[in-house]
Structure 1
Amino acid sequence: MKTMKKILLAVILLAALAAGASSIVITNENEYSLVRQFGKVDHVVDQAGVSFKIPFVQSVDKLPKETLLYDLPSSDVITSDKKTMICDSYILWHITDPLKFAQTLNSSITNAENRLDTIVYNSTKNVISSNTQDDVISGRDGELSAAIVENIGDTLDQYGIELLSFETKQLDLPSDNKAAVYERMISERDNIAATYTAEGSSEAQIIRNTTDREVSVMLSEAEKNAEILIAEGEAEYMRILSEAYSDVSKQDFYSFVRSLDALKVSMEGGNKTVILSPDSPIAQIFYGSATP
């Protein structure tokens, strides 16, 4: 009889310990604890620590509280100029309202990712379809992501989800038309370069023509000024000669100097003998100098 009492006491003690253990709820920093009663969420524990629930009646589900990453499947999108592109991207998201999340998505991360896939893809398709291929490529860094997030807006609030970021890993052309598009882009760039070259050549020719005209004007002015100076010099020279010939004493001196110059020229070189007649102007110099 005593043995039966001990066994019964042990069973009761074990049941009490089991009930006590099952009533404890431990919530970590990176998770939410959803306490369910008969399958329905009774309350949510969103603070880290220890809490309690009714044993054997209530159960606990866990949901992640940290930021989650979802790698979206690559998908085809069409730009406004009817060019197909392949978008490979990922998103960062987290649960903001675990109760809504549990009620609308059955506390399933997979269900949430499927819903995110559809909503983000539709937003991406709408944004890219309103831009040309060149605009999409040039706006890849930042602008495209911001436009997609803005287009989604508060759509995800109904699921207790917030989209933190949309990032593009790759936004490329399909392999079957990539070469053709690249050739078209190269041709367009070549045309732009040819236009710039032609405009530069035209501008250079205008500058050369203007410079040549200015140089011609400057040379013409310089030649004109030179002719004026030469004419003025010749006029001054003739004036000096005229003054020299107008005075008898100057005439004699001028004749004397010119005769000496002529004699000097005739005596250049070695072994030269000059024979002068008495009536030679040069001889007259010596005869004149010999006269007392």
Structure 2
Amino acid sequence: MSSKVAGIGAFIALILITVYSAAFTVGQAEQACIIQFGQFKGEAITKPGLYWKWPFVQEVRRLDRRLLTWDGSVEQIPTLGREFILMDAAAHYRIANPRLFLESLRDERGARSRIDDILNAIVRDKISGAKLEEIIRSSDWHVHSDALEDGTVTERDASMELAPRRGRQELEREILEAAQAHMPNYGIELQDVHIRRVHYIESVRQQVESRIIAERQSIAERFRSEGRGRSEEILGEMQKELQAVRSEAQRKAEEIRGAADAQVTQIYGQAYGQNAEFYGFLKTLEAYRGTVGPNTSLMFSANSDFYRYLESVRGR
């Protein structure tokens, strides 16, 4: 009886082991391939759930279906201007074809090694053919005039000589397109490539600092020159307006003086017409006032009009 129970227990255990070996699950972040004697069976499993395989003769190879990160090694690379920089790049990729991925690369370690070879070569090639300012600046780089000492110019004028022909984003796009051409052969979908950091060696750092200082001084001087030109323009317009005001004031003053002189002449004429003797006497008194001072000595002839009025006063 005991041997029969033991046999039933062994049979049940065998069934459980068989079921456990035949059943497997695929998680939300996983994808899997079934392999039998080194050959792939069926299509890759990309949806999560419970699945079955032949026990003991088939195995399951699981792969990550999430976005994976490639961290490039920091390399010293010369730019187009022969400045040596330390470049640190990164990329994101996804396993798009699990079967092709396993056939060509076997596992994720092999994939990282192959991505290293491809991306490092392309990054070195693209960086060595780019100028330093194209690596460290974006294509829409511009100068903010309010960050400078004084003066204002348009953004186009400020960035005309300093904006690179292509920026870091364009360089990253070129690297990505060149690398994407190789990835389908390995079942990999490359999402993006980023230049994370650019480190300068000492000699390049000094060159960059000197270039930045020279560029800022050039921009500041251009702003100052524009400011001085604008100042001269404003002063010229002000002088022009001031001269116009003065000319108008002088014209009106001359008109007023002319009208006053005409009125005075008219009054003198009326006075002369009413009493010529009184008019002559009044004009002589005005002449005395303008001629005779505290220390004035005058010499007249006996028949002078000046003397005539003085003589008549003394006779009285």
TM-score (norm 1): 0.75
Deviation at 1:196, TM superposition (A): 3.0
Partners of 2:274 and 2:250 lie apart in 1 by 36
Partner of 2:201: 174
Partners of 1:192 and 1:40 lie apart in 2 by 67
Task: Show CA shifts across 1:185-226 (max 9, x none).
Answer: 202221232233234324433443453345335424432442
Q: Quick check: which has more Rg, 1 or 2?
A: 1
CA contact 1:127–1:151 (8 Å) conserved in 2? no
Deviation at 1:22, TM superposition (A): 0.9
Residue 91, structure 1, aligned to residue 91, structure 2: yes
**What is the Cα-based RMSD across aligned positions, in Å?**
3.2
Q: Which runs of 5+ in 2 are unaligned?
A: 139-166, 290-311
Partners of 2:69 and 2:273 lie apart in 1 by 116
Secondary structure at the counterpart of residue 93 of structure 1: strand
CA contact 1:244–1:250 (8 Å) conserved in 2? no
**1:75-90 correspondence runs (5 A):** 75-90=75-90
Tell me the amino acid that sits aligned with residue 151 of structure 1. Answer: A
User: Identity, % of aligned pairs?
Assistant: 23
Tell me the amino acid that sits aligned with residue 232 of structure 1. Answer: A
Partners of 2:274 and 2:95 lie apart in 1 by 123
Partners of 2:84 and 2:277 lie apart in 1 by 105
Q: Which runs of 5+ in 1 are unaligned?
A: 263-278, 284-292
Tell me the amino acid that sits aligned with residue 29 of structure 1. Answer: Q
Partners of 1:125 and 1:16 lie apart in 2 by 58
Partners of 2:21 and 2:201 lie apart in 1 by 56
Partner of 1:47: 47
CA contact 2:180–2:189 (8 Å) conserved in 1? no
CA contact 1:29–1:48 (8 Å) conserved in 2? yes
Partners of 2:240 and 2:47 lie apart in 1 by 87
Deviation at 1:6, TM superposition (A): 4.9
Task: Show CA shifts across 1:87-133 (max 9, x none).
Answer: 22322211111000000001x11111122222223333344344322
Between 132-141 and 25-34, the greater mean CA deviation after superposition: 132-141
Between 72-81 and 20-29, the greater mean CA deviation after superposition: 72-81
Partner of 2:141: none
Change (3 A) 1:42 1:175: farther
Partners of 2:222 and 2:188 lie apart in 1 by 52
Secondary structure at the counterpart of residue 81 of structure 2: coil
Partners of 1:5 and 1:164 lie apart in 2 by 62
Between 115-124 and 34-43, the greater mean CA deviation after superposition: 115-124
Partners of 1:130 and 1:240 lie apart in 2 by 97
Structure 1 runs (4+) greater than 6 angstroms displaced: none
Task: Show CA shifts across 1:239-283 (max 9, x none).
Answer: 21111221239969x97xx9xxx9xxxxxxxxxxxxxxxx86xx9
**1:20-35 correspondence runs (5 A):** 20-35=19-34
Partner of 1:112: 111
* Higher RCO, 1 vs 2 (CA within 8 Å, ≥6 residues apart): 2
Change (3 A) 1:224 1:6: closer
**1:124-139 correspondence runs (5 A):** 124-139=123-138
Residue 205, structure 1, aligned to residue 204, structure 2: no
Count of paired positions:
259
Between 194-203 and 41-50, the greater mean CA deviation after superposition: 194-203
Partner of 2:243: 216
Change (3 A) 1:49 1:250: farther
Between 61-70 and 227-236, the greater mean CA deviation after superposition: 227-236
TM-score (norm 2): 0.70
Partners of 2:137 and 2:26 lie apart in 1 by 46
